Structure 1
């Protein structure tokens, strides 16, 4: 039986067999009087994800569908995406009714995690004053401060202040069950990937809040994503002198090296550490001058000299906007097996 991919699905059109991995399970309750609804998050071999709403008896799937296992899914219904609180930005939602079947299959090279990380600079645009959030937010960040679980107005919560690559602080509130689930795992300086957050405001200040679908993955369990945000020494450009290959530092109006007596002229070059990934996995790369200029379409002189982004640790907005974008790169593998872009 030939299988398709998630992006081939069209609302109200017949389903096509899908080979998927189940990577998340969560219950959504629209209001206190509504019955909670079971959802799965499914990922296919192309790396795309879709929500599957379980509209059959939960017991029918609960005994045969397991997290992180691979299945051939047939007989489902293809609907438009739900309007409020979508976990992924996909054009469809899968409805699993009585005629749908999860057929267990052998292990496939399908990722076990799925994120669409949003940078801090995009959060304002994700805020909806009506509180009817259309698309939930995934956030990759480092914990600066974290509280214990406490009660306010008979509601249990945990609060933490975090920052992403931009180093802009923002508060995340974890509610009730989510707070208790992760309270003992969270600590200062840990890098976390938090899924399915809602962007809110309190007294005009942006905040993030957990939802029923929120999960947290900590430090090295994030496959290749956390190293750059974890390092306080990461830099997106380097400074060197005309007569010395050592890294230079600014002193007065010139550049100096700890080993050189004669003042030197400054040379600035792109050196952007990044993690790129496709549907097979992730890889660490370094973008140097020519490659980074082609990707960014901005010369380093414009950013560092003309626009004043002269802190090599703080990413300029032009670089932050690249996070999560799809690009085509050409690699040359040297004899050392080190990829060159």
Structure 2
């Protein structure tokens, strides 16, 4: 998965997917808004084959602009934001499908077998994990849990809605493999909050996979970040150092051979988070160019002209003050 592969520690072959489960994708995300795209970025970057289904009413498109999303000091129009969000998900490795998910049913064959998504237009898709990331309607998951109420009756009428208290805060549910992210999980309607919750849910899913692979505690958590090579401590560049740490801290039920393999795989993953300076610079430039591509040419040119005028005025002011 990602820079390293934990599949050897699972009962199967493909990274992130149980070999006993013949499914089309690892993760199916229903909803292509902030929560769904954010979750997809994390699962895809981890190496899980992820498909995002996005067709249906979007409350975000009712907004004139987003003015409280961090990183856009003057706000950003919704269409540009969604374009960037979905492009980000695709570049991370997600597949976006414009199809409506009518229902999600559990596959037969016992526990941990996954789900089948019935689509309005296309053929059904099977997935090991499902993340429900729509806002208004969770009807497509009805019937997955016969023991715990997933729907509640509205206080002011007979209509039912998905119970936002059904999932835990981290998006997990009583149904193994089913997660809920964003407003449907009761996190609130603000786009930045929904995106943050989507990331939280994805990291929960990844943590559970890593625990299944044998990792524990902080080693089961996955921090998706990149650091500069110049900041790497040489002590942690040595796989044997990780072996020592894992042998000291491993739970008693882990056999020594497994602990060593876990340590070596973790060391590879850790080492892969560091970037050479030239690579970090190229990635920063790539990010800026992508943001520029989302802007209208006239706006970019006007901004450049404004900057030039301001710089010239500042230079003249400095010359005047220095001349007495």
Q: TM-score, normalised by structure 2?
A: 0.23
Q: Between Structure 1 and Structure 2, which shows a larger proportion of helix residues?
A: 2
RCO greater where, 1 or 2, for CA within 8 Å and sep 6 or more? 2
Q: TM-score, normalised by structure 1?
A: 0.22
